[in-house]
Amino acid sequence: MSTPLSRLIELGKGRPTIEVLEAGQGPALLFLHGAGGVPAWEGVLPLLERHYRVHAPLLPGFGKSTGLEYLEDQLDLTLHGFDVMEALGLERPYVLGESMGGWMAAEMAALRPKEIGRLALAAPVGLWRDEAPVADMFGMMPHELVPYLFHDQSCPPAQMMHAMTNLFSEKDDRTQDQVEILLSLMRGFRTAAKFLFPIPEHGLERRLPRIVAPTLVVWGTGDRFLAPLYARIFAEKIPRARLEMIANAGHLIGLEQPEPYARAVMRWGEGGA
């Protein structure tokens, strides 16, 4: 696994300071993370950096990024995405967003359609259907959340995540490092909750038809967190979108099936279908 470079960018007075992780050479790819952040350069990222210059900015509350208080609502968050894009010097980039980051990417593409060159949404949140409620990640214990995130509970990343949730158990013998890991997870969840609590839906569906960027929707066939029902809605409502289902993947596609996921993103980046 490679190590990305990390740098801090101050977006200006009254705006957040953000950490950006960057790796690889090639055309730019803006990666917007999900509610788990980017705790390690893993999943689809090391595969994509072989073909792209991957820029992964972290939202306030994740990593070393700060300034959540400057982002009050969903519009602020979307505009923040453009501020980051500009600070990174990216023009009409290829944007890949996972889960919460996918929602953010879709909002950006709907708000300023001409400023997003190409779009890939990996199991984005942002829609709601009563018949398939999105799992309440803010109202359960961490060890209860893990089964929603994987198709195969016995795969190594699922096992590792289960082991980590033991840190949340009632034992009181954590090391200082472990306490810091817990706190960083909680800070990230706090950011996610600010924009997604209690129902992760704020009208994106009626804005999806505004998107003009060529859009790929990627979804795991075994997603228990966000039912594949939502994949079809995204694909139908975004003009000319392409839907690619990844077999044997749950919600965290990158952790469970990184290769087919990366191939789909790269094919789409080359203009392929």
Q: Which residues make up the interface to another protein (CB under 8 A)?
A: 68, 72, 138-142, 144, 168-170, 172, 179, 182-183, 186-187, 189-190, 192-194, 197-199
Q: Which of 79, 182 has the CB closer to another protein?
A: 182
Q: Which of 2, 178 has the CB closer to another protein?
A: 178
Q: Least distance to another protein from the beta carbon of 138, Å?
A: 6
Q: Which of 31, 189 has the CB closer to another protein?
A: 189
Q: Which of 190, 207 has the CB closer to another protein?
A: 190
Q: Which of 79, 233 has the CB closer to another protein?
A: 79
Q: How far apart are CA 46 and CA 44, in angstroms?
A: 6
The 3 state secondary structure assigned to the chain is CCCCEEEEEECCCCCCEEEEEEECCCCEEEEECCCCCCCCCCCCHHHHCCCCEEEEECCCCCCCCECHHHCCCHHHHHHHHHHHHHHCCCCCCEEEEECHHHHHHHHHHHHCHHHCCEEEEECCCECCCCCCCCCCCCCCCHHHHHHHHCCCCCCHHHHHHHHHHHHHCCCCCCCHHHHHHHHHHHHHHHHHHHHHCCCCECCHHHHHHHCCCCEEEEEECCCCCCCCHHHHHHHHHCCCCEEEEECCCCCCHHHHCHHHHHHHHHHHHCCCC
Residue of 11, 56, 17 lying closest to 37 (CA atoms) = 56
Q: Least distance to another protein from the beta carbon of 171, Å?
A: 8
Q: Least distance to another protein from the beta carbon of 194, Å?
A: 4
Q: Which of 75, 247 has the CB closer to another protein?
A: 75
Q: Which of 42, 73 has the CB closer to another protein?
A: 73
Q: Least distance to another protein from the beta carbon of 101, Å?
A: 17
Q: Least distance to another protein from the beta carbon of 168, Å?
A: 5
Q: Least distance to another protein from the beta carbon of 106, Å?
A: 21
Q: Least distance to another protein from the beta carbon of 241, Å?
A: 31
Q: Which of 25, 169 has the CB closer to another protein?
A: 169
Q: Least distance to another protein from the beta carbon of 266, Å?
A: 34
Q: Buried b / exposed e across 203-230, counting CB within 10 Å, b at 16+?
A: ebbebbeebebbbbbbbbebbebbbeeb
Specify the residue for token string 């600070």: 87
